Amino acid sequence: MPVASIFSTVQEDLEKVEAKLQSIADVEYPVLSALLRHILNTGGKRLRPALALLSAKFHCYDLETLIPLASALELLHTATLVHDDIIDNATTRRGASTLNTIVDGRSTILIGDYLFARSAAFAAESDNLRVMKIFARTLTKICDGELRNMLGSDDLDHTRREYYRKIESKTAALFVAAVESGSVLSNAPENEIQALVSYGHSVGTAFQIVDDILDFVGDERKMGKPVGSDLRQGTVTLPAIYLLESRPNDVELRRLMRHHGDFPDREEGIKRLIETIANSSAIASARNEALDFVQQAKKALFVLPDNKYRRALADLADYVIERSS
């Protein structure tokens, strides 16, 4: 099912979120305004705002607080991507030039910081202390995850544990923040809030696993980035972990995955490794793991009232496993 169909029940509210997001580019400095519009116009599917909106629909909610909250989550996500691109020295994202290819690194960092600040300001419009605590906790988790990734060791024997810790510190954390904040603003009972937290964690984890699968087998035109980008950056994801586990004594394999810098035959070796993973059982194994998380997510929804919003959340979980970009 296309994601637009899944979000049809909150489409009008999503349009309000989009207008709120675009408002951050209404600044006096024309250069900054143009750069902010570039970032916003290369945005993704707005999954996080949609999750916040859907999670609030089971009870009473106020759009005056919900729209800024949903917008804050998307800005927080966007800010992390801006910083990710400069850390990874990425040149394209979603088929468009990254900000760090347009302006210098210092300016890119400051624009990312600007987005963080504006997202916090939007979150504060919720006027809800618990939501602000959720926002602060999420930002802390994201920064902790990035620092662990950058300062961590190359110990491939503990890669799976670190892989899931990284997902929990970024992708899953934002999904959890979206559904938890939305349900809190709707004054949902605590058991429903916790059910949505479980749903968000499982869907976010599955989403990242599928992302990592597509990095090996996806269509570059749809993905908007070269195949194997993560591996070239030295990031070992679940498909590569499965291959590592199936070849515990493969010294060459470990050499390629451990060394992040350049050495004479690295590029050719990486190309072979990407092809090997793409054609191995590691892809199916990773997909099955993602499917397990999707099933857990859908099971968590049973606590919620059975209505079109619950069905939309269940459909979104299915979409995560079926998507091609």
Q: Encoding tokens for residue 96? A: 């468009």
Contacts with 156 (C-beta within 8 Å, 6 or more apart), sequence order: 236, 244, 254, 257, 258
Q: In this predicted model, which residue has the larger pLDDT, 255 or 15? A: 15
Which of 77-92 are b and which e, b meaning 16 or more Cβ less than 10 Å from the residue's Cβ?
Answer: bbbbbbbbbbebebeb
245-274 burial string, b = 16+ CB within 10 Å, else e? eeeeeeeebbebbeeeeeeeebeebeeebb
Structure-block tokens of residue 76: 């927080």
Distance, in Å, from the CA atom of 52 to the CA atom of 205, rounded to the nearest integer, reads 17
DSSP class of residue 323?
Answer: -
Rounded Cα distance, 75 and 24, in Å: 10
Asked whether 247 and 256 are in contact (CB, 8 A), the reply is no
CATH topology of domain 3-322: Farnesyl Diphosphate Synthase (1.10.600)
> What is the full DSSP assignment across 60-73?
---HHHHHHHHHHH
Task: Tell me what the mean pLDDT of segment 268-290 comes to.
Answer: 92
Of 26-35, 207-216, 256-265, give the lowest mean pLDDT range.
Answer: 256-265
Q: What are phi and psi of 97, to 5 degrees?
A: -65, 135
Q: What is the pLDDT of residues 177-195, one digit of tens each?
A: 999 999 999 999 999 999 9
What's 100's DSSP letter?
A: G
Q: How confident is the model at residue 247 (pLDDT cuts 50, 70, 90)?
A: confident
| Residues contacting residue 220 through CB under 8 Å, at least 6 positions apart | 226, 227
Tell me what pLDDT residue 231 has.
83
Q: Is the dihedral of CA 97, 102, 105, 111 positive or negative?
A: negative
68-118 pLDDT tens trace: 999 999 999 999 999 888 887 877 777 788 888 888 889 999 999 999 999
Identity of the amino acid at 325: S
- Report DSSP state, residue 42: T
pLDDT at 152 over 80: no
* Both tokens assigned to 69: 């909250």
Name the average pLDDT for the chain.
90
DSSP-derived secondary structure letter, 28: S
CA-based angle 14:17:22, to the nearest 5?
130
Residue 161 has pLDDT above 90, yes or no: no
Look at residue 261 and tell me whether its pLDDT is greater than 60: no
Which range is least confidently modeled, 8-12, 102-106, 198-202, 211-215? 102-106
- Give the type of residue at 60: C
Distances from the Cα of 91 to the Cα of 20, 22, 96, 143, 222, angstroms: 27, 23, 8, 22, 16
pLDDT in the model for residue 188: 97
Query: The tokens of 296 are what?
Result: 């857990």
**298-320 residue pLDDT tens:** 999 999 999 999 999 999 999 99
Question: How many CA within 13 A on the CB side of residue 130?
Answer: 13
Asked whether the beta carbons of 184 and 73 are under 8 A apart, the reply is: no
Min mean pLDDT across 9-13, 32-36, 215-219 is at 215-219
Extents of the domains making up the chain: 3-322
**Does position 271 have pLDDT exceeding 80, yes or no?**
yes
